[in-house]
Amino acid sequence: MSSSSALFSPIRVGNMNLQHRIILAPLTRVRAHADHVPGPQIPVYYSQRGSTPGTLLVSEATFISQKAGGYDNVPGIYTDAQVEGWKKVTEAVHEKGSFIFLQLWALGRTADIAVLAKENNSPHVSASPILLPRKLAKENNSPHVSVSPILLPKKSGVPRALTTDEIKEYVAAYAAAATNAIRAGFDGVEIHGANGYLIDQFIQDVTNERTDEYGGSIENRARFALEITDAVVEAVGAERTGFRISPWGVFNENSDFIRDIWQGVEGSTFISTNGHTRDSAIETVDKKGGLVGFGRSFISNPDLPFRLLKDIALERGDQATWYLPGNVLPTGYSDYAFAAENDQQQISKL
Q: Is 197 a catalytic residue?
A: yes
Q: Determine contact, residues 82/37, Cβ cutoff 8 Å.
A: yes
User: Hey, which residues does 139 pair with through a beta bridge?
Assistant: 118
Pick from 126, 118, 313, 149: which is nearest to 215 by CA?
A: 149
Residues 6+ apart with CB under 8 A from 60: 26, 27, 28, 29, 74, 75, 103
Pick from 125, 122, 78, 132: which is nearest to 102 by CA?
A: 78
CA separation for the pair 109, 254 (Å, rounded): 12
Q: Which amino acid, 264?
A: G
CA separation for the pair 346, 338 (Å, rounded): 8
Q: How many CA atoms lie within 13 A of 338 on its CB side?
A: 21
CA separation for the pair 34, 65 (Å, rounded): 14
Catalytic-role residue among 45, 174, 197, 336: 197
188-192 and 291-294 strand pairing: unpaired
User: Which residues are annotated as catalytic?
Assistant: 197
